[in-house]
Amino acid sequence: MKPKKNTLLQHWLVKSEPEAYAWIDLVRDGRTAWTGVRNYQARIHLNTMQPGDRVLFYESVTTKAVVGLTEVTRSAFADTTAEEPGWVAVELKAISALTRPVTLAQIKAEPALVNIALLRQSRLSVLPLSREEFALIAALGA
């Protein structure tokens, strides 16, 4: 029996400190298990992600910009880096770098992105995006 194809794609943004795991690391690796998330709301988001979902990669702290496009290739599974049960990871695959990084300042200056989760919940490392928010950020980086 074939797995069901995800017909209703969702859109996300994941954040990583470049010193811990940068976009260039994902490009080098091709794909990675997105482990180490220890926030309950982010865990809910990870559990919601499905193969085929599109994900923007945001480098926080020093870069403060969306730099790449990824895709979920494996839905939530046990996070092997967790000491307690219940924490999950997803697998992400690098798709392409944005032509131009989209900075946090650009996102803040865009009226259509005023309610984006990145600005409202800045410490959250896995954030949902609407199709329109995702498309606008991707267009800014094209």
For residue range 12-35, list pLDDT tens digits in order: 999 999 999 999 999 999 999 999
Domain range for 39: 11-140
Task: Evaluate whether residue 132 is within a structural domain.
Answer: yes
Task: Evaluate whether residue 134 is within a structural domain.
Answer: yes
Task: Evaluate whether residue 6 is within a structural domain.
Answer: no
pLDDT in tens, 75-120: 999 999 999 999 999 999 999 999 999 999 999 999 999 999 999 9
Q: What is the pLDDT of residue 1?
A: 47
**pLDDT band for position 5 (cuts 50, 70, 90):** low
Task: Evaluate whether residue 3 is within a structural domain.
Answer: no
pLDDT at residue 60 is higher than 50: yes
pLDDT at residue 134 is higher than 60: yes
Q: What is the pLDDT of residue 122?
A: 86
Task: Evaluate whether residue 54 is within a structural domain.
Answer: yes
pTM, to two decimals? 0.93
Task: Evaluate whether residue 1 is within a structural domain.
Answer: no
How many structural domains comprise the chain? Answer: 1
Residues facing residue 58 across a β-bridge: 15, 66
Q: What is the pLDDT of residue 8?
A: 84
Mean pLDDT of 121-137: 95
C-alpha of 46 from chain center: 10
Q: How far apart are CA 48 and CA 94, in angstroms?
A: 19
pLDDT at residue 73 is higher than 60: yes
DSSP string over the chain: -PPPP--S--EEEEEE-TTTS-HHHHHHHSEEEE-----HHHHHHHHH--TT-EEEEEETTTT-EEEEEEEEEEEEEE-TT-SSTT-EEEEEEEEEEEEEEEEHHHHHH-GGGTT-HHHHSTT-SEEEE-HHHHHHHHHHT-
Looking up residue 33, the CATH number of its domain turns out to be: 3.10.590.10
Q: How far apart are CA 112 and CA 110, in angstroms?
A: 6
Q: How far apart are CA 107 and CA 137, in angstroms?
A: 8
Task: Evaluate whether residue 102 is within a structural domain.
Answer: yes
